[in-house]
Amino acid sequence: MEEQSQAYILVVTDEASNRDDLGKILQTEHRLEFIPSGAEVVNTVLERKPDLILLDLRLGGTDSFNLLQKLKELDETRDIPVILLTSNASVEDEERGLRLGAVDYLTRPFHNAIVTARIRIQLDLIKHIRTIERLGMIDALTDIPNRRFFDMRIKEEWRRTYRHKSCMSILMLDLDNFKKYNDTYGHPQGDRLLKFIGKVLMDNLHRPSDMAARLGGEEFAVLLGDTDTAGAVKVAEAIRRDIESGIVYTPEGEPTSITVSAGISSIVPAMNGDYMDLIQQADKYLYVAKENGRNRIAFKGQGPAA
């Protein structure tokens, strides 16, 4: 949500009057989507990640409180604010909705100024939170997530992958001879190179769930959900090739380049497993890649691969 006018609001209601009234009030400033069935909500939210959800308490065939509870139990949707739509909610209903995680109520008949103000409050709050998260979790030099963000995301991905009984992979990457590069060209040029590395990593990630992070210095990590070793090798090899062939010019126009080594670890999380084991295994294979000549990847069962 880069601007408030670009907010994507999902409205869950099966009443035509709600669609008409809210459309008139909101559609000039926001991007709205209306869905009539509670059965569609969770999958739609997981797929499209709206900025805000307006959920009608009076949904035919659906318990809206149960639906709200499901949204707040899922890691992927719990932080999306939900405003409940109601006609004559009792104090008990309001208390229950707020206790389950709703942020506010809108009562019919809808008044333009009240609807606009309450939605603006939530969207401004989202924008503020995202700004804080960005300042605290993005590496200032490369503009990709930092170690703090990585630690948070790998915990979330571990839980999600365990629930889905799928495989997740991690790449640990380290630039080869970066100290020598810095000594030769100077730290400002080293910073230019690190920015280039960040861009290469992002250019090779094509799914919203994938992420790259700078862990510190010349060390990077890539987290790949729903990806086995074979899939991770393809991503790692594409990154290795792009870094090897990339040229980063000095201010004087001198071409410079570097290579990278990577270790890969993949796992189907177990109930009593620890994601730190995944990281340690990837670190182990990164060391193998370095010991076997650098500019290569290494992983279980196949050793180093150039």
SS3 category, 79: coil
Residue 73: band (very low, low, confident or very high) from pLDDT cuts 50, 70, 90: confident
- Using the 3D structure, point to which of 85, 119, 137 is the last residue of a domain: 137
pLDDT-based confidence at residue 298 (cuts at 50, 70, 90):
very high
CA distance 61 to 179: 64
Query: What pLDDT score does 11 carry?
Result: 93
Task: Output the pLDDT for position 2.
Answer: 43
Residue of higher predicted confidence among 305 and 247:
247
How confident is the model over 219-242, as pLDDT tens digits?
999 999 889 999 999 999 999 999
185 has pLDDT over 90: yes
Claim to verify: residue 287 and residue 159 sit in the same structural domain: yes
pLDDT at position 132: 67
The whole-number pLDDT of residue 218 equals 97
Q: Give the end of a domain, one of 108, 137, 166.
A: 137
| CATH number for position 47 | 3.40.50.2300
Q: What is the pLDDT at residue 303?
A: 47
pLDDT over 70 at 94, yes or no: yes
CA 9 to chain centre: 19
Rg (CA), the chain: 24
Q: Are the C-beta atoms of residues 46 and 91 closer than 8 Å to each other?
A: no
Q: In this structure, are residues 220 and 297 in contact, taking their beta carbons and an 8 Å threshold?
A: no
Task: Domain count for the chain, please give it.
Answer: 2
Give per-residue pLDDT as tens, 237-269: 999 999 999 999 999 999 999 999 999 999 999
Domain contains 113: yes
Using alpha carbons, select from 214, 269, 207, 256 the residue that is nearest to residue 235: 207
Domain that holds residue 37: 4-137
The CATH number linked to 152 is: 3.30.70.270
| Among 137, 158, 189, residue at a domain's last position | 137
pLDDT in tens, 158-183: 988 888 888 999 999 999 999 999 99
Share of the chain above pLDDT 90, in %: 56
Which residues have a Cβ under 8 Å from the Cβ of 5 and sit 6 or more positions away? Answer: 29, 30
DSSP category for residue 207: S
Asked whether residue 142 is assigned to any structural domain, the reply reads no
132 and 151 belong to one structural domain: no
Per residue in 54-72, pLDDT (tens digit) is 999 888 777 889 999 989 8
Give catalytic status of residue 291 as yes or no.
no
In 19-86, at which residue ranges do the beta strands (DSSP E only) sit?
31-35, 52-56, 82-86
User: Mean pLDDT in the chain?
Assistant: 89
pLDDT in tens, 3-37: 445 789 999 998 889 889 999 999 888 999 999 87
Indicate if 164 and 285 belong to the same structural domain: yes
Active-site residue identified among 33, 218, 237, 252: 218
CB 286 within 8 A of CB 262: yes
Pair (186, 287) in one structural domain: yes
**Co-location of 152 and 301 in the same domain:** yes
Residue 306 has pLDDT above 70, yes or no: no
Higher pLDDT, 79 or 187: 187
